[in-house]
Structures are given as C-alpha cells and as structure tokens.
Amino acid sequence: MVKQKNKSNKPKVAVQSITGCAGCQLEIYYIEDVLLELLDAVELVAAPMIKEKNYDGPVDICFVEGSVSHTDSINKVKKWRENSKILVALGACAGEGGVQQQKNFMDKKKVQAYVYGNKTKHLDVETPVPITEYVEVDYYIKGCPADKEEIVWFVKQALLGKVPKQYEKPVCHECKLREKYCLLEQGQDCYGPITFGNCSVMCPDYNHPCTGCRGPFSDGNFEEHIKLLQEKGFSKRLIMQRINKYGGLRTQKIMQEAKDGKNHP
Amino acid sequence: MNSLTPKQYKIIDFHRETNDTVTLTADMKIKHEPGQFVEVSLPGIGEAPISICSFSKDYVKLNIRQVGNMTNALAGLKKGDKICIRGPYGTGYPMHYFKGDNLIIIGGGCGVAPLKGIIDYVEKFRKDYGDIILFLGYRSPDDILFQKELDEWKEKFDLTVTVDQNSESKFCYDANTEFVTEALKRAEFDNEKKVAFICGPPIMMKFVVGILKDKGFNDDQIYLSFERHMKCGVQKCGHCMINGIYVCKDGPVFRYDQVTELSEKW
Amino acid sequence: MSDKILKKKDLPAFLTKLRKNSTLIAPMQRDILRFDICEDTAKVVTNKRPLFTAKKYFYKEKQELFSYNKANIKETGQNEHFVIFGMRLCDINSLLKLDKLFLNDFEESNYKKARKNNIIIGLNCETAPSKYCFCESMELKDAGYDLFFCDAGVHWHIKVGSKKGEKLVKNLKDSYHRPKPIKTKKKLHHKEIAGNFNDKNWQEMSDKCISCGACTNLCPNCLCFDIFDTPSLALSKGVRNLEWDSCQFKDFTKVAGDHVFRETRESRLRHRIFHKIMYFKDQFDEYMCTGCGRCIEGCPTRIDWVQTLNKMKK
C-alpha cells in the first residue's frame, strides 16, 4: 500500500457556497487542462460539492460563491472570513448579488408570492446582497459564471505571494484589442462600456452583446450610455432591467455618485 | 536587446531600514547621476521604478518602501538573491552646475531616498560645495530612514530632523515634533549662493516651494522630484506624463521654472 | 527613380508575385473591411479603408517581451517578413511618428525589426474614405513607403519611395501621370490650444465620453502600453507581456497608494488631444495625429473634437 503522505504544507484552499446556482464552483472543476497541476500545488481541504470530508478550520484561500440571501448565510460568510487569510468572492452573486439581487428593485412580497405561493412561513429570507455587504473580500473574480482563466491566474498570483489588483478597464478595451466591430455600431444593446472587462470578450466574440455579467464598471458613464441606447431605439425600461441584472445594487451607487458630482470634483 | 529587457544582478547587501522599508544594494556597476532611477523586476511579480539612493560606480543602493505586491516581494529578498534591473533612467540632479554653492536639501518620508544620492555625491566631492543644510521630515521616529548614516551627517552637515508625531518620545537626532515645513520656515537663511532640492509628497513639496520663495529663492534655484508611475522608463508607455513632459525622461528631477506652467503637476 | 505604371487588371498578378516570398497583408472584406492575410489577390479591396489600422502588424496589441526562468531572461521576439498593401498616407505617416518614440535612444527592438523587415505599399485616397477625415490639415509627409499606388483611370500610377520598392517595379514602364493631392472637407483650424486648457467645451465633450477606449485603440499614432508578467503554473517560469493601454481609462495614471492623477473624463480626453496637437508638436515639431478621423468614426457617441477645437475661441 502506498504510504499516506505527511500532512502537507501546501496552501489550504476551501471552496464554499451559499445562494447561487453553483456554476462558479463548477468552473473550478471544469479547469480540465491544468486542474491536476493546480491540485498538486494546493490542498483542497473543503469543497462540500465534491468532497465528503470537509475541514472547517483556518485556510489560506477561501473561494465563496453565492449571495447572502438567508439569515444563516451571514454567519457563514463571517466565519469564512475569520478563517481565511485570503477571501475571494467567486462570481457575480458573491461580488454583486447576482441575478437574484434584482429582487431589490421589485416588490419583495410579490416576488416571494409568485415563486412560493403562500408557503413562505418557513423561509428566513433576506433580500439578496453580495457577501461584500457583510465581509471584506481580498479579491473578486468577476463573471457569471466566474471565468476559469481568471481563477487559475488568481491562484498563481496567490501562490507567488501576491493579492493582485482588480482589473479596472471596461469590456470594450479587450474587445477593441481583438478588433471586434463594435456591436453598438451594429445597433445592438451592448453593455460593454459600463461593464468590467478581462473576460476574453467571449460574448462579443460570438456577436452576442455584453450583458454586463462582470458587474458595473466603476468609472462607467452610465448616464451617457443609457442615452446612447435610447437613441438607438431601446426602451429605458429594458435598458434599466439589463443594467440592473447582475449588479444593480452597485450600479445604483455609481449612478448616484455621478449625479452628486463625485466624478467631477 | 530590447530596451524593456532587464539584466540580472546580485544583491550584495540587504538590510531592513524601518518597519516598512528596506535598503538593498545590487552589484550593478553603472555610471549614473544622483536622482536617476532604475526599473527593478522580480519576474512573475512585476516591475517597479525605484530611485537610486547612492552614488558609486560599483553598486546601486535602492531604498524600498512596502506599498504593494512588488515592493513587498522585494522586501522579502535576502543577500545573495538575484534581481533584474534596467536603467539608469531619467534626468538626475546636474551636480556640476552647483559647484561652489550651498545646498539646502529638504526631504519628506521616502522622498529622502533620492536625495541621499546627492549627499553621497557631495561627500565624494566635498570641497566643491559650500554648506550642506539638511531638513528631513518623517511621520514618526520609527520611520526615520538611513539611521546609520544620520550619525555621520549630524557631524558633517547642518542637520535638522523632524517627526510629525513622537508619541513614544524616542530619541531621534534632536528631532522636533513638527512638520518639516515648520522647521524650514523658522530657519534663517536667504537665497544667496544657494540651491534647494526637494523631494517628498506633492503637498509637502508645494508648501516647501512656497516657503523658499518667501525666503527669496528664485524658481531656478529650486529643484524638485516628481512621482508618477514610470512603467517603461524610456519615454514610450505614456503613463508618467505630466502635461507634455515625461517624468521618466525629462525628470524625475526638474528645476522649478521648468514646471511652473504645468497644470497637472501637483 | 521615375514613377511607374501598372494596368489595374494586372494588380492581382503583381501582388501574387510579392506573395511568393512573404505574407501579404491587404484590405480584405471580412465581416467588415480589415487588414488581413490575403489569400486571394483578386479580392483585395482598393476603394475603401479599413476601420482598424495596420498598426498591429508593426506593434502588436499584445506581445511577449521575453520569457523568464527565475531571474534568467531570454528574449523571444520573432522575425516576420511581410508585404503590406493598401495603407493610406495617414497610416504610413503614423509609422513615422511612432518611430520617434519607439526608435529613440531606447529602442523597442520588436518594433524595430517589424519596421525593417517589411515592404509597405501605400494607396492614395482619391476621395476621403471617411467623412471624418481631416488629413489635409495635418501636414502629412509624402514619405515612409516603398511604393505608393495612385489611381490613374485604368492604370495605377506608382510612386517609388525606396530601393526596396524600386526593385519590385523595375520591369514596369515609366508613368507621366500627375496624381492629385488629397483633399478633405473636414479641416482642423490650427491655433495655440494652450490657452484653451480650461475651456468649458472639454467638459461638454467628455460628458459624451463613455470611456470605451475606442479612440486610442483605433488611433494609428497612439502607442501607450502596459507591462505585466504572465507566470506559468511552474511559478518560476513565465513571460513578460506588453499590451496596448489607453490614457482614457482612470487607472492609467494610478500610482502606488492608489492615487489617480487624471481623475475626470474631462482631464483624460483633454490630455489625449493636447498630446496629439500640442505636446508632441512642441517636442518633435509635428503633430501626433495624421487626421485619419478614426477616433471620431469609431467613437460610439461620435465625439468630434476637431469640430469642438475649431469652435474654441483662442
């Protein structure tokens, strides 16, 4: 029999999940080409989706997917924060609230009734918010789902001892570098200019306009972009729905700040 | 070889300066002027512009303040490790212009590092220069750089050290607890046969320029050193531009009259 | 050497000959017209100008500077030979401007190689290819090409710009056509713009800017870049990359400690125009703009800085 290896001193990694579709976590397991090398470099100590025994002590890196949508999630994320040297928000739900945060812009009772009828008494539901509402995160891997290239890149950076800076350019930059003919010019409602980039412009590459899954670009000119889309014939209602789809909470903040003139000191 | 490709050097001396700064010496034998900078790389981590804080044909000394990933990684090195460097770049202090002059050197925080190049230079050519008056300001006694050297400077030059706060009342070279600008304001000197060198945070430099002008200094008697992100160091990448000037090539050292017109300077 | 003449119907055959020993890049109809590797010389488009410039063939949008293994560094630049056909005078002039910065005291060797190893065949604009063209105001030089094709009815009138070009056309007959200079409707009225630094129009223009960076990426003269390392999973190995960057993004002027020097869109937009029209001119006595108009043509909100500059008082 092969001897059990001594306790490794490889960095401990946990992958945790709260309310979401688990698609971001799956992106990790879909890293086919280098997954084994990756698991060679770190020790995956907790990943309830694919592991039976899960360690719940201190770890070096903890990836958290999902939004805080239940009261008990609050304590969970706080504990994970306490237990992790580096806490990473994995995907749009953890970082922005994700699609479910659209509930913030709707009548909550109506939404609940629509989904669960009158059987809602057992639910201890919060309005969905990103985990960043409750804990500080060291890095946020954007996207719906989180981009696996960026996951691999992040792990490399962490292993090199770095907590990297967030990418701070809109989708358009990379889109132009790849010489995609602007979808706005083709009359589509593309949200590239107001969405954080570094996604390998996957959607525009297939002529699908950006829907904003990486969350609102903090320096985006929302006011002008909305105006532009309206000029192209899209209704304000549709535009606002799209804009609020993944990261409406932060979008609202950015737009308010722009209105208050913080962008024009 | 591409101008953006660095060469490998060995760290021949490494010591911790303060809690968040280290000074390392690389065996880079290259001609340079005080005030110039180099681009230091740790492959995989990145590259950062660091000013040279020495003057020698045998080595370069770099004082590094830990503010990010790159500088943190640099601070984790030890004697004997290899680093990659390219340079030196930029325009330094044209020391030969100041022969016979009295030099006023005013530094704030890690801005003292490039000024130490001047001091090293002057020590080498001491008889060429008149009085050397130093005003060095730090946040707290724990932040004081070049403590080894300070003992010598205290003997040789007119040295004033200040700390913004000294809650532990530590000894620090007779430092007063005040901003360096206060000490400068109080000091009695005029502009006769003098040149002033300033390096520090933008707000401090702005005040110091004001004080010197009150003392009668002309714009062309004041030299200052700007900080921008000199990514390439060779007048290409565009990151370090202040209006139309490239800090990496035209600077980082500027005579004040060169930059008075620049609206983006502070 | 005297100018040469080529029948228009002989152009495909002429280009096919060039293609024998190196890659031929030419304007090809894809989803839109693009500079691309030419697979069929009969399909080369000569009556329109691609929106995306040919800059990337000389200065790649993302390139490897070197590979490293710990602190050991090995340069990885490659040496491609190609013939590029169909660059307009604005695009060719922009290379002369890039030369000033890339081939200064500190040479960028990848760019230098690309500049040396290629043949540039220009194409005259009989009429302005875009309504935003204003090159007539930008003092373009009749230089920088190996050959330059001008429309002469059923012929191409070919101007020869170099020894390399001369070799390619030595068997052709001399031409006595007189090609006409380029005219553009749009013009930039030159003035001392320094006095307009605080003009209110900058703010108005920048309100329309959606910070997409199209202007800089489409500009044949823009060269700002970023440098970063891409480690492999064997952490000690990797490559250092150079990638185009844009002064129109807020993080462009960020320094350690997260201070940003050009906080507002207004200051960024103004910086770009000042750099093109004033700062570069102060240093090299020419504009860093060749009037190709792509920054307006490709801007989703059509910010027309030329018109606005003309409007400014001083």
- A93/A144 same-domain check: yes
Tell me if A253 is assigned to some domain: yes
What is the average per-residue pLDDT within A18-23?
95
Looking at the complex, report in whole angstroms how far the Cα of residue C241 sits from the nearest Cα belonging to chain A: 14
Domain annotation covers residue A7: no
Q: Let me know: does A60 contact A85? Beta carbons within 8 Å.
A: yes
At A126 the pLDDT is 79
pLDDT at A54 over 70: yes
Whether B237 sits inside 8 A of C267 (CB atoms) is: no
How many residue pairs bridge chain A and chain C with CB atoms within 8 Å of each other? 88
Chain A residues in contact with B76 by the CB 8 A cut-off are 161
pTM assigned to the model: 0.94
Domain stops at, among A159, A193, A212: A159
pLDDT value of residue C235: 92
Inside any domain, residue C80: yes
ipTM (interface pTM): 0.92
Is the residue at B262 inside a domain?
no
Residue at A166 is within a domain: no
pLDDT per residue as tens digits for the range A68-105: 998 899 999 999 999 999 999 999 999 999 999 999 99
Specify whether C227 is located in the same domain as C97. Answer: no
What's the rounded mean pLDDT across residues B80-86?
96
Judge if B198 and B153 occupy the same domain.
yes
Contact B10/C at CB under 8 A: no
List pLDDT tens digits, range B14-54.
Answer: 999 999 999 999 999 999 999 999 999 999 999 999 999 99
3-state SS assignment for residue A144: coil
B150 touching chain C per CB within 8 A: no
Considering chain B, what percentage of its residues have pLDDT values greater than 90? 87
> What confidence score (pLDDT) does residue C78 get?
72
Q: Which of residues 75-134 of A touch C (CB under 8 A)?
A: none
DSSP string, C221-279: S---EEEEEEE-SSTTEEEEEEEE--TTSGGGGB-TTS-BS--SHHHHHHHHHHIIIII
Q: What is the CATH number of the domain that holds B28?
A: 2.40.30.10
- Please say if the pLDDT value at position A2 is more than 90: no
Q: Which one of A159, A191, A209 terminates a domain?
A: A159
Q: Does residue B214 have a pLDDT over 60?
A: yes
Shared domain for B109 and B220, answered yes or no, is yes
Q: Is residue B239 part of a domain?
A: no
Instruction: Report the C-alpha gap between A151 and A13 in whole angstroms.
Output: 13
Residues of chain B found within 8 Å of residue C108, distances taken between Cβ atoms:
2-4, 236
Closest residue of C to A192, CA-based?
A: C212
Last residue of a domain, one of A106, A138, A159: A159
- Is residue C185 in a domain? no
A119 and A200, same domain (yes or no)? no
Interchain contact, C211 vs A193, CB within 8 Å: yes
C-alpha–C-alpha distance, residues B33 and B118, integer Å: 9
Distance of CA C167 to CAs C18, C38, C86, C156, Å? 11, 22, 19, 17
A232 shares a domain with A129: no
- On chain A, the residues whose CB falls within 8 A of the CB of C243 are 177
Please give the residue range of the domain that contains residue A144.
12-159
User: Which of C233, C246, C298 is the closest to A34 by Cβ?
Assistant: C233
Take residue C103 and report the two structure tokens written for it.
Answer: 């081939």
Q: Is residue B243 part of a domain?
A: no
| Chain B residues with CB within 8 Å of chain A CB | 44-45, 69, 72-73, 76
B234 located within any domain: no
Q: Do C101 and C243 lie in a common domain?
A: no
Whether residues A125 and A194 fall in one domain: no
Residue C180 lies in a domain: no
User: For residue B47, what are its two tokens?
Assistant: 């590259």
Whether residue C187 is contained in a domain is answered as no
Identify whether residues A81 and A193 lie together within a single domain: no
Query: Mind listing the pLDDT tens digit of every residue in chain C (314 residues)?
Result: 789 999 999 999 999 999 998 999 999 999 999 999 999 999 999 999 999 999 999 999 999 999 999 989 999 877 778 999 999 999 999 999 999 999 998 999 999 999 998 999 999 999 999 999 999 999 999 999 999 999 999 999 999 999 999 999 999 999 999 888 889 999 999 988 999 999 999 999 999 999 999 999 999 999 999 999 999 998 999 999 999 999 999 999 998 888 999 999 999 999 999 999 999 999 999 999 999 999 999 999 999 999 999 999 76
Neighbouring CB atoms inside 10 A of C66's CB total 21
Q: Quick: pLDDT tens for A192-239.
A: 999 999 999 999 999 999 999 999 999 999 999 999 999 999 999 999
Residues C165, C227, single domain; the answer is: no
Of C147, C134, C184, nearest to C15 by C-alpha is C147
Residue B113, both tokens: 């590092």
Whether residue A1 is predicted with pLDDT greater than 50 in this model: the reply is no
Subunits with 3+ Cβ pairs within 8 Å of B are A, C
When divided into structural domains, chain C yields a total of: 2
Distance CA(B133)–CA(B118), nearest Å, equals: 12
C106 to B235: CB separation less than 8 angstroms, yes or no: yes
Within this chain, do residues A149 and A179 fall inside the same structural domain, yes or no?
A: no
The tokens 């999973």 sit on which residue?
C233
CB-nearest to B8 from C72, C247, C256 is: C72
**Are A163 and B69 in contact (CB < 8 Å)?**
yes
Q: What pLDDT does residue A8 have?
A: 72
- Does some domain include residue B255? no
Q: How far is A32 from chain C (nearest CA, A)?
A: 14
- Of C300, C278, C226, the C-alpha closest to C65 is C226
Indicate the residue among B89, B122, B137 that finishes a domain: B89
How close C201 comes to chain A (CA, Å)? 14
A154 plus A176 within the same structural domain? no
B6 touches chain C (CB under 8 A): yes
Determine the structural domain holding residue C283 and report its residue range.
193-311
Those residues whose C-beta lies under 8 Å from the C-beta of residue A36, and which sit 6 or more positions away, are none
Q: Say yes or no to pLDDT of A265 above 50.
A: no
Closest residue by Cα to residue C81 from C1, C143, C22, C132: C22
Q: Which residues of chain A make contact with B69, given a CB cutoff of 8 A?
A: 161-165
Residues C163 and C253 reside in one and the same domain: no
Q: Residue B229 is nearest to which of C68, C77, C255, comparing CB atoms?
A: C255
- Both C78 and C219 in one domain: the answer is no
Residue C204 falls inside a structural domain:
yes
**B103 lies in the same domain as B54:** no
For chain A, which chains pass the contact test of at least 3 CB pairs under 8 Å? B, C
Closest by CA to C174, choosing from C161, C154, C157, C162, is C157
Contacts of A168 in chain C (CB under 8 A): 249-251, 254
Residues B58 and B132 in one domain: no
- Residue B119 within a domain: yes
Q: Which of C174, C203, C227 is the last residue of a domain?
A: C174
Q: Are residues B216 and B158 in the same domain?
A: yes
Nearest Cα residue in chain B from C279: B244
Q: Do C255 and B227 touch (CB under 8 A)?
A: yes
B44 with C68: Cβ contact below 8 A = yes
Q: What is the DSSP string of A149-170?
A: HHHHHHHHHHHTT--PPPP-SB
Is residue B66 domain-shared with residue B107, that is, in the same domain? no
Contact residues, chain A, for C300 at CB < 8 Å: 182, 184-185, 193, 228
> Closest partner residue to A177 among C51, C62, C235, by Cβ?
C62
- Domain assignment present for B208: yes
Q: Is B111 on the interface with C (CB under 8 A)?
A: no
Which residues sit opposite C151 in a β-bridge?
A: C156
State which residues form the domain around B23.
7-89
Same domain as B114, residue B15: no
Question: Is position B248 within any domain?
Answer: no
pLDDT of residue C299: 96
Q: What angle do CA B117, B120, B125 make, to 5 degrees?
A: 125
The CATH number given to whatever domain includes residue B186 is: 3.40.50.80
How many structural domains is chain A composed of?
A: 2
Same domain, C204 and C91: no
Q: Does A169 touch chain C (CB under 8 A)?
A: yes
Over the stretch A142-187, which tens digit does the pLDDT of each residue have? Answer: 999 999 999 999 999 999 999 999 999 999 999 999 999 999 999 9
Q: Is residue C150 part of a domain?
A: yes
In a domain, C72, yes or no: yes
